[in-house]
Amino acid sequence: MNLTIEILSSLIIVAFGIYVTQRVQHDYKLVNIFRQYTLPSVVRPGGIVDLSKLKIFVQNFNYKIETNGNLVIEVKNDIINVISGTGSITIVFEAWGFLDFYRIVRSIKVIT
């Protein structure tokens, strides 16, 4: 009787540990995708920044675009078109993982 309870409790603890480990690995991969997604560090007026391919890797996420400086941009279908100006574009990616809400900030400089 005592051995059976000990084995069952050990199995429950191991199963819970595996479950939590898988969730942590998923969230780690999610944050890594946002951090390692290739965005240009510098863009000139007339250039584009394509975020549409990011939807292949992560389906449920939001992003906000903020501009600093004298910039005119246009956003259509997850493509940022830099029309004119100089400054920087800040893209804030937001997504829910299994364990927490993640916010990753990426910045792109616009030069002439």
Provide the pLDDT for residue 75.
93
**Sign of the CA dihedral 55, 57, 60, 66?**
negative
Query: What residue segments make up the domains of the chain, in order of their start?
Result: 2-110
Q: 2-110: what fold?
A: Immunoglobulin-like (2.60.40)
Q: What is the pLDDT of residues 17-52, one digit of tens each?
A: 999 999 999 999 999 999 999 999 999 999 999 998
**103: three-class secondary structure by DSSP:** strand
Q: What is the pLDDT of residues 59-99, one digit of tens each?
A: 889 999 999 999 999 999 989 999 999 999 999 999 999 98
Task: Please state, as a whole number, how many other Cβ atoms lie within 10 Å of the Cβ of residue 36.
Answer: 9
Residue 1 pLDDT grade (very low, low, confident, very high; cuts 50, 70, 90): low
pTM of the model: 0.81
Q: What is the pLDDT of residues 97-111, one digit of tens each?
A: 998 999 999 999 999
